[in-house]
Amino acid sequence: MTKIIDGKKISANIKEEIKLEVERITEGGQRAPGLAVVIVGENPASKVYVNSKVKTCGALGIYSEKYNLDSEITESELLKLIEELNDKEEIDGILVQLPLPKHIDEDKIIEAIKPNKDVDGFHPINLGKLVIGKNGFKSCTPYGIMELLKRYELDLNGKDVVIVGRSNIVGKPLSIMLTNKNATVTLCHSRTKNLAEKTLNADIVIVAIGREKFLTEDMVKEGSIVIDVGINRNKLGKLCGDVDFENVSKKTSLITPVPGGVGPMTIAMLMKNTVKSRVEKI
C-alpha cells in the first residue's frame, strides 16, 4: 500500500530543532542568526515566498531584514546592497529572490554574495564544494529532498535513481547529493531518448520540470518511490505537481504529494543553512 511522504510534518520537526538551536545560541549570550531577504519588483509568487521566509524567521527566533526593491533598480545598485550585506555583522545569510528583472544578470548577483553567506547554496564555490564532497551550503530544495529520504530511513546505497529535470537549482545539485550517498543516478532532460524506459527501471523517480501530470502510471514500476518537485496550477487554479498523483500512487511504495511534500522542506532547509552560517562564526 502506498505511503505518503509527509513533508509538512518533517519540516515542522526540523523547524522545532532549529528553534531549540537558536535558543541555545542566544542563551549562551550570542546574537541570534540573521537572514537578509532581497526581493526586486512585484512578482506575486515571489512576494508570497519572501513573506513566508520572513514569517518563519520570526517564529524560529531568527533575526531578519527584508529589502523590497523597485523593479527599475540598476544592477550596480543591487550589487552595492549585496556588498553592504556581505559586510553587515548581524547578517549571516543573504537570499536574493529569483527570478530577477531581465536587465539584471542573475549569475553576477549570485556570485557577488559571499560564499559563507550564500544560504541558498547557489554560489559556484558552494556548488564546487558539493561536487568534491566538502562542507559548504547545499541548495535548499535538493537538500530538503535528501532530508526527507533520510528521515524516512531510505537506504540509497546502490539504488537506481532517475531525475527528470537538469536545472542548476534542483536537478544538477540533487544528482551530486545522491551520488555522494552511493546511489546510481541518471539525470534526464528534454533531449533524453526513451525516457519512460529509464523511469520504469528506477527504484526512485524524482521529477522537477514544471509540467502538470508529466509522470504517468505507465512510467513507473511497482513499489518504486516517487518525489514530485513540481508546482503547477491546473485549469481550475488548483495546485498540482509534475506527477499524476492519483494514478501513479497506485503503484508506488512512497510518494510525495503537492502541496505538502517537497515544498515545506525548502524553507526549513534555508533556516537550517542560516543557523549553520551563524554557528560557524561562533
**Among all residues, which ones are annotated catalytic?**
53, 97, 120
Residue whose cell numbers read 545569510: 93
157: cell is: 546505497
Contact assessment for residue 229 and residue 141, using Cβ atoms and an 8 Å cutoff: yes
Q: Which residues contact 276 (CB under 8 A, 6 or more apart)?
A: 137
230: cell is: 513540481
273: cell is: 543553512
What residue spans of 63-213 are helical by DSSP H?
Answer: 75-87, 106-112, 124-131, 140-151, 171-180, 195-200
Contact assessment for residue 80 and residue 104, using Cβ atoms and an 8 Å cutoff: no
> Taking the CA of residue 181 as centre, how many other CA atoms within 13 Å lie in the half-sphere pointing to its CB?
21
With 0-12 / 13-18 / 19 or more C-beta atoms within 10 angstroms meaning exposed / middle / buried, residue 154 is middle
First to last CA, the chain: 47
Nearest to 171 by CA among 140, 204, 208: 208
Helix (H) / strand (E) element for 14: namely helix 7-27
Helix (H) / strand (E) element for 96: namely strand 93-96
